[in-house]
Structure 1
């Protein structure tokens, strides 16, 4: 059974295990800092086995999705959608009027998911993400909650 709960420092190793085959570049320190800073870190588990995580920073009436990962072995099962729906619902409960995010221009699956959830493209940060031999644009998106 899939459950989503707030993560704590004791969950960081599980989150890193989830992200091991992911394009996510967050380090252990980054995850720990997010939790310590009071960001909302959602941990998705299936029968107590971590399978995804998301980090949302709240600022006034905005929520910003900073990171979302789904275990590579579990992609295509709708877990990313469930995690995003949960993050959006939680952000709304906590007073956010909108959620902001940025996504690699080449991440077509994530962009399609965000569009299907009602996000709209609001801009482009050119040459934002580093690549092995250059840089990639970040697509800026937002959704009213």
Structure 2
């Protein structure tokens, strides 16, 4: 089932502080690690982070944030609202990020994902990412055993 046509896709660099706050709210609802609006704003302004936010009306329903790293760029975070998971939105955001990274001259996209996040790992593999290594016990969680980080990359040149 495709995602709704009412969605608005916005470059991170064009988002207002209020929109960035909505993005960090979605991140807090979806992921274990979160940023403040101030730290996200700083990443965009001083570290050249790029990506997109996806909105349905005033609600942030998805985002992807990439950070340049010499000749590569890293997918720092990606999230989709629970109601839109499995509808192709994350795949679309990965494609948009890859197009932007390629146009900017990057060689590869790097990412890390928890070894128990099977849905994300499957998405990344379907999108052409391959496993490069592991960081043992990298993700620590309250009241749960530590999980390995799977390091993945995709050449884009």
User: By the TM > 0.5 criterion, same fold?
Assistant: yes
Q: Distance in 2 between matches of 1:74 and 1:20?
A: 16
**2:150 maps to what in 1?**
139
Q: 1:6 aligns with which of 5, 11, 34?
A: 11
**Aligned to 1:138, what secondary structure does the other structure show?**
strand
Deviation per CA, 1:33-59: give whole Å up to 9, x if none. 322322113112245642111111112
Query: Given the two structures, how large is their TM-score scaled by the length of structure 2?
Result: 0.83
Task: Count residues in correspondence.
Answer: 145
Q: Distance in 2 between matches of 1:111 and 1:30?
A: 26
Q: Distance in 2 between matches of 1:84 and 1:39?
A: 15
Q: How far off is 1:27 after superposition?
A: 2.4
**Aligned to 1:89, what secondary structure does the other structure show?**
helix
**Aligned to 2:30, what secondary structure does the other structure show?**
coil
Q: Please, what is the CA RMSD of the aligned residues? A: 1.8
Which stretch of the first structure deviates more once superposed, 13-22 or 108-117?
Answer: 13-22
Q: 1:27 aligns with which of 13, 23, 35?
A: 35
**1:41 maps to what in 2?**
51
**2:98 maps to what in 1?**
88
Residue 34 to residue 9, structure 1, CA distance change in 2 (3 Å): farther
Residue 139 to residue 65, structure 1, CA distance change in 2 (3 Å): same
Gaps spanning 5+ residues in structure 1: where? Answer: none
